[in-house]
Amino acid sequence: MLKFFKLIAILEGISYLVLFANMLLIKPNYPDLYKTLLYPIGMAHGVLFIGYVVLAILLKYEQNWDWGKLGVILVASLLPFATFWVEKKYL
């Protein structure tokens, strides 16, 4: 399950960055394209985010992580590029 969590962590980080790119780069220049891309990108990111959190909680018990490590991993899901850092440092 740890390998699957690593994959989800990377994909969640990528989807977060793609969501920001859609908001910051595409929205000002191509408003119609922004609206078209927002739903599929947002849905993918939402599903990956929920999967990341659920898998982190399951792995906390499977890997006997302390609450501090779980807290760092969960907070990392809220910051851009932090899931990549967690994947390298903690996993």
What tens digit of pLDDT does each residue of 7-16 get?
998 899 899 9
Which residue segment(s) compose the domain that 57 sits in? 2-86
Count CA within 13 A, CB hemisphere, residue 61. Answer: 4
| Backbone phi and psi for residue 80, each to the nearest 5 degrees, phi listed first | -60, 140
DSSP, residue by residue, 5-51: HHHHHHHHHHHHHHHHHIIIIIHHH-HHHHHHHHHHHHHHHHHHHHH
- The tally of domains found in the chain comes to 1
| Of 71, 22, 25, nearest in space to 45 by CA | 22
- Domain-located, residue 91: no
The pair of three-digit structure tokens given for residue 1, joined into one six-digit string: 């399950």
Taking residues 17-31, what's their average pLDDT? 86
Return the H-helix or E-strand segment holding 88: helix 82-89
Q: What is the pLDDT of residues 37-81, one digit of tens each?
A: 888 988 999 999 999 999 999 999 998 888 998 998 999 888 888
- Domain-located, residue 25: yes
d(CA 57, CA 18) in angstroms, rounded, equals 25
- Is the entire prediction scored with pTM above 0.75? yes
- Domain-located, residue 53: yes
